[in-house]
Amino acid sequence: MTIRISDVAARAAVSTATVSHVINNTRKVTEETKEKVWQAIQELGYSPNVSARNLKTGRTRMIGLIIPDISNLFFAMVARQIENILGKQDYNLIIMNSDENLSKEISHIQHITSGLVDGLIIASAAQDYAQLDNHIPANFPCVFFDRRLIGNPHESVLVSSDVAMQQGVSALLSRGHKRIGYIAGLQGISTTEDRLQSFKNALQNLDAEFDPRLVQYGNSIDSTTFASIGALIKEKCTAIVVSNNLMSAQAVYKLASMGLKVGEDVDLLTYKDYEYYSYDLTQCDMIVQPINQLGGIIGNGILDRIQRDDVMAREIVLVSSFQPRLLNP
């Protein structure tokens, strides 16, 4: 039923070796035989069996990407950018969801690291590398990103918003805001802690006081942001920092429905993780994530690790940029 390389060889009246070499351009073949082989391939509609090739070569030209949530635009955008980079060298990306669930993540890791992919890119749900150690084969090419893991021996690409946060908070303070609220993301993720820490640092550096009562924890899935905004307004905040992209739209909407104008009644400093979808383009100060740079570094990082074996693991920290609002109040 299925067409094998030997069928092509028979039809072209050459050996399987020749067919293989023609397909992979891996040794000198006369134009004439090349022609015959390609024609046979066309006529039979032959396409090499991927599993057999992978088994033989030990390589798959596929990279696994494990992320907590494909429906979070941040991860989706990073995925696309990585795919762009890999595509240039004919590598393909396999995307898998971990659902922020460690055992699901581990099951994915085990599956794909045993011969399915040449390298692994992961935004892990683990807090400590020890939780993963047994499940990643030694020397397996890996790039971690977005989350910081304790004792992680692999390449790790993070984003710091320290500087951008300070610029943002500084802008808010200079406009006279005294009570600045903060809506934090999902607890237990390093990103959440890092961003809150950046906020605290910014306040401290700028001689303003941090008030824990003005911090609300939310998560981007439910509409808890609505309640958080309500609570912070009740606390008489005149400015609010919203610490992730998914909660921003909810914040904008909630304020509007309370009859409060962003940029007039309340100032907002939000995170922006993508290029388009610009409902909040002009009225909010924004901390912009370097998505393309991130994807680029991750993509090239994994290729380096696959293609060479003298590559050191580093922790690379990219920085967000501050993008002030366009409208003047």
Partner DNA sequence: TTGTAAGCGTTATCAG
Partner DNA sequence: CTGATAACGCTTACAA
Residue 253 neighbours by CB under 8 Å, 6+ apart = none
- In the complex with its own copies, the residue whose CB is nearer, 202 or 302, is 302
Residue 278 neighbours by CB under 8 Å, 6+ apart = none
Question: Which pairing describes strands 285-288 and 321-323: parallel, antiparallel, or unpaired?
Answer: antiparallel
- Residue (of 318, 328, 299) closest to 120 by Cα position: 299
Measured at the CA of 289, the angle between CA 287 and CA 293, to 5 degrees, comes to 145
Residue 57: CB atoms within 10 Å: 10
In this structure, are residues 21 and 48 in contact, taking their beta carbons and an 8 Å threshold? no
Q: Which of DNA, its own copies, none binds 304 (CB below 5-8 Å, type-dependent)?
A: none
Tell me the C-alpha distance between 225 and 166, whole Å. 23
- In the complex with DNA, the residue whose CB is nearer, 17 or 311, is 17
- In the complex with its own copies, the residue whose CB is nearer, 249 or 316, is 249
- In the complex with its own copies, the residue whose CB is nearer, 162 or 273, is 273
Binding site residues, DNA, CB under 7 A: 2-6, 13-18, 20-21, 23-24, 26-30, 32-33, 46, 48-49, 52-53, 55-58
x/- map, 232-251, its own copies, by CB under 8 A: --------------x--xx-
Q: Which of its own copies, DNA, none binds 187 (CB below 5-8 Å, type-dependent)?
A: none
Q: Which of DNA, its own copies, none binds 205 (CB below 5-8 Å, type-dependent)?
A: none
- In the complex with its own copies, the residue whose CB is nearer, 55 or 150, is 55
The pair of three-digit structure tokens given for residue 76, joined into one six-digit string: 């989706």
Q: In angstroms, what is the minimal distance from the CB of 43 to DNA?
A: 15
x/- map, 252-281, its own copies, by CB under 8 A: xx--xx----------------x-xxxxxx
Binding-residue total with its own copies (CB under 8 A) = 55
Tell me the C-alpha distance between 285 and 58, whole Å. 50
Of residues 158-197, which lie at the interface with its own copies (CB under 8 A)? none
Q: Which of DNA, its own copies, none binds 283 (CB below 5-8 Å, type-dependent)?
A: its own copies
First-to-last C-alpha distance (Å) of the chain: 71
- Residue (of 193, 194, 198) closest to 165 by Cα position: 198
**Is residue 314 left, alpha or beta, with left meaning phi > 0 and alpha meaning psi from -120 to 50?**
beta
Give yes or no for residue 80 binding its own copies (CB under 8 A): yes
Give yes or no for residue 20 binding its own copies (CB under 8 A): no
Q: If 0-12 CB within 10 Å is exposed, 13-18 middle and 19+ buried, where does residue 105 land?
A: buried
Question: Which pairing describes strands 142-145 and 155-160: parallel, antiparallel, or unpaired?
Answer: parallel
Residue 229 β-bridge partners: none
Instruction: Give kind and range of the element (H or E) at residue 120.
Output: strand 119-122
Q: Which of DNA, its own copies, none binds 221 (CB below 5-8 Å, type-dependent)?
A: its own copies
- In the complex with DNA, the residue whose CB is nearer, 15 or 89, is 15
- In the complex with DNA, the residue whose CB is nearer, 27 or 314, is 27
Q: In angstroms, what is the minimal distance from the CB of 27 to DNA?
A: 5
Note the residues at the interface with its own copies (CB under 8 A): 45, 47-52, 54-55, 60, 69-71, 73, 76-77, 79-80, 83, 92-97, 108, 110-116, 134, 137, 220-223, 246, 249-250, 252-253, 256-257, 274, 276-283
